[in-house]
Amino acid sequence: MEIQIENGKEDLIKNEKMLRLRQEMESSQSCCRLAKTRLNLVPGEGNADAKVLFIGEGPGRKEDEEGKPFIGSAGKLLTELLQSIGFERKDIFIANVVKCRPPSNRDPLPEEVKACWPWLQKQIEIIQPLLIIPLGRHAMERFLPDMKISAVRGKILRKNVAGLGTQVFMPTYHPAAVLYHREWLKFLQEDFAKIPKILEHLEANRAEEKTNGTTIEWDSMEIGNNKEKKQEKMF
């Protein structure tokens, strides 16, 4: 029998599940060697019932010290970009591909990303986001290997991910990279500006699927300026 959840209860259930998952992560010290060198676990934070999930690479020094994602200068830029589209951090969920800081902020190794994957997978299963936004190359590669971030940023890509089913992605640049390459800021702003429209479309799609079992064609979606009327369906 299908369990009916009253409106408003679903977010409580998801937040409860996320809390339990966090406790599981905290007590698991053996996932990979990063757990031994971290100061704090950085599991991710935000609304477990969010429509949009941002995924970064891994915690930096400040995040490691405080156990919270994106609280340094890249986080400040992320918060500003969210505010520019009328979102607050509590409206979204922010996670990382690895939950513990790689020493000296080096890139996470493939085996560390692999070891941490079950946690991210469970977070996605709980949240069931309409849209996943990988921030930067490392986060993108976990889902969309062999793609170039400069080529696919701002594009809406549907992909069947093993263990997760079909997910919708819009990769964009990592805010930390944009702090080094200020000339990319306009691209990041452009990509963020599309988010509300994309979510509107995806929400309508989910509702349509629930009622009629059909989906609204991607080509019916208009995002941004005229140049971008046609969306690419790459998968």
By CB under 6 A, is residue 82 in contact with ligand URA?
no
DSSP assigned state of 184 = G
Sign of the alpha-carbon dihedral angle for 114, 133, 149, 75: negative
Stretch that binds ligand URA, among 52-60, 85-93, 126-134, 158-166 (CB under 6 A): 52-60
Burial class from Cβ neighbours inside 10 Å (0-12, 13-18, 19+) for residue 23 reads exposed
* Size of the chain, expressed as the number of residues it contains: 235
**Size of site (CB under 6 A) for ligand URA:** 12
For ligand URA, the binding residues in 162-181 under the rule CB under 6 A are: 176
d(CA 195, CA 175): 16
Told to check if 69 binds ligand URA by CB under 6 A, we report yes
- Contact pick of 49, 63, 64, 141 for ligand URA (by CB under 6 A): 63
Give the N- to C-terminal CA distance of the chain in Å, as an integer.
34
Is residue 59 a contact residue for ligand URA (CB under 6 A)? yes
Residues 186-215 contacting ligand URA, CB under 6 A: none
The residue among 74 and 116 lying less far from ligand URA, judged by its C-beta, is: 74
Q: Which of 148, 196, 190, 188 is nearest to 172 (CA)?
A: 188
154 binds ligand URA (CB under 6 A): no
Q: Which is nearer to ligand URA, 91 or 200 (CB)?
A: 91
Q: Is 154 helix (H, G, I), strand (E, B) or coil?
A: coil
Residues at the site binding ligand URA, with contacts judged by CB under 6 A: 42, 56-60, 63, 69-70, 74, 96, 176
